[in-house]
Chains A and B, each alone.
Chain A
């Protein structure tokens, strides 16, 4: 089982550029999440989804967008990259009566 797969693992962006962080899971989980982890901090929720076609904002959604067209995929879009978005991004999924499964993270630097 691949579990939760995130791509890319590392990326450097210039200010103002856009990109999409990919996340896919093969466990048929309804719940999916995007978190960011800033240095010396815990993870903070950006967006979440409770099923295909349903998404909602978390604690820190500004500057991001998401979509959930399929159960498997939950991409995170940065439209105008800013230095404040330099962080490590984690995608996670959760099935019924299960804990969250995390991907390996994407380290994003914006210069």
Chain B
């Protein structure tokens, strides 16, 4: 089974500054998908960004971008111009490309990183 590791239980950033959250994963597959989810205190799971492993270009969504290093099996999330509303738990997740034979495209999650944003 693929494992996802988030080595930073907590991170803190000042408003308007930039922060990077780390994620590494273990897999023997060559084609897969990676995701970052945000979970605010409301408990909702909100998709922030996703990356397809066969694409070399790093995904970007407004203030959120990733640094995808396939050889190193690293998938970090950069949040630019941090805002108070960015405070949340952030989860990195892995998904196999195969469906029927591998948990129907279910996600493997890391343990999460709690992000605190200070004024």
Contacts and interface: CB of A to CB of B under 8 A. Distances in A.
Contacts of B9: 40
A102 B106 CA distance: 12
Interface centre among B50, B93, B109 (most CB of A within 10 A): B109
A109 to B, nearest CB: 15
A42 interface: yes
A13 interface: no
Contacts, number: 56
B112 A48 contact: no
A78 interface: no
B111 A40 contact: yes
Given A33-B104, A48-B106, A104 B112 contact: no
B91 A43 contact: yes
Interface residues of B, number: 23
A85 B47 CA distance: 26
A58 B103 contact: yes
A104 B44 contact: yes
Given A104-B43, A105-B43, A41 B104 contact: no
A45 B35 CA distance: 16
B4 interface: yes
B109 A42 contact: yes
A50 B100 contact: yes
A54 to B, nearest CB: 9
A7 B71 CA distance: 43
Contacts of B107: 43, 45, 100
Closest A-B pairs by Cβ, 5 of them: A42-B109, A102-B45, A50-B104, A48-B104, A43-B109
Interface of A: 31, 33, 40-45, 48-50, 56, 58-59, 88, 90, 92, 94, 99-100, 102, 104-105, 107
